[in-house]
Chain A
Amino acid sequence: QSVLTQPPSVSAAPEQKVTISCSGGSSNIEYNYVSWYQQLPGTAPKLLIYDNNKRPSGIPDRFSGSKSGTSATLAITGLQTGDEADYYCATWDTSLSAGLFGGGTKLTVL
């Protein structure tokens, strides 16, 4: 059971928009930065969003992140079949003094 809660799965049609939520608490998301990762089958995770809403170079602006209070959201617009993957949020927990990952969300592009 992860401290950070994500929906197990989301789905949408190509070209549509999807959002993935990540819910935490005051010791983690509320006062620490959130990052998001994409993991394709059999590969290492890839950083999509860091510091709540920043994109590393090379990440298209179809991917965006936001945070409000104890929750964060990843939005993906203009969905492509190549976006089918598992998505994870991550943050630091000040009370645990540890990094945390959400349980992951499987995105299906119908």
Chain B
Amino acid sequence: QVQLVQSGAEVRKPGASVKVSCKTSGFTFNAHYMNWVRQAPGQGLEWMGRINPNSGTTNYVQKFQDRITMTRDTSISTAYMEVRSLTSDDTAVYFCARSPRYLSSSNFDYWGQGTLVTVSS
């Protein structure tokens, strides 16, 4: 069965970086986009960007363009997202979510369990 398993909760100080992983199984990793979505406490969902595991090509939301990097390791079917220069506003649950691999895709059919990132001094 399709599974997306994310790394555990993280605590970082302001200005630091964090890298979250999303290990997948049960499907062809290269055949789907991997998206990253975050949810601040008590807030809604926010799409941050996606990676095409087949090519490594990425699409980032402009507000995160300078602070995030999405990568993948196809040998272990795992996607990663690094967020740099963290502030308290980045405290959120970060989800990875699979979608079909076409340009205007927004069908997120399988999700990871979420990774809580807390930014606090």
> Interface digits, A35-49 against B, CB 8 Å rule (1 contact, 0 not)?
101010000111100
Interface size range of chain A in the complex = 20 to 34
Interface size on B, residues (CB 8 A): 24
Chain A residues lying within 8 Å of B46, measured Cβ to Cβ, are 101
| B44 in contact with A101 (CB, 8 Å) | yes
Known: A35-B107, A50-B107, A90-B106. A98 touches B45 (CB 8 A): no
| B47 in contact with A100 (CB, 8 Å) | yes
| A99 in contact with B47 (CB, 8 Å) | yes
> Interface digits, A44-61 against B, CB 8 Å rule (1 contact, 0 not)?
111100110000100000
Chain B residues lying within 8 Å of A46, measured Cβ to Cβ, are 111
CA of A98 to CA of B58, assembled, Å:
11
| B104 in contact with A47 (CB, 8 Å) | no
- B residues near A (Cβ < 8 Å) are 35, 37, 44-47, 49-50, 59, 61-62, 95, 97, 103-109, 111-114
- A residues near B (Cβ < 8 Å) are 2, 32-35, 37, 39, 44-47, 50-51, 56, 86, 88, 90-92, 94, 96-104
Give 20 new A-B contacts, CB below 8 A, not counting A45-B45, A94-B104, A101-B37: A32-B106, A33-B106, A33-B107, A35-B106, A44-B111, A45-B108, A45-B111, A47-B108, A47-B109, A51-B107, A90-B47, A92-B103, A92-B106, A96-B61, A97-B59, A98-B59, A98-B62, A99-B50, A99-B106, A101-B45
Q: Return the 5 tightest CB-CB contacts between A and B, nearest first.
A: A99-B47, A92-B104, A44-B111, A50-B107, A104-B44
23 contacts between A and B (CB under 8 A): A32-B106, A33-B106, A35-B108, A37-B108, A44-B95, A45-B37, A45-B95, A45-B111, A47-B108, A47-B109, A86-B44, A90-B45, A90-B47, A91-B106, A92-B104, A92-B106, A94-B104, A97-B59, A98-B62, A99-B35, A101-B44, A103-B44, A104-B44
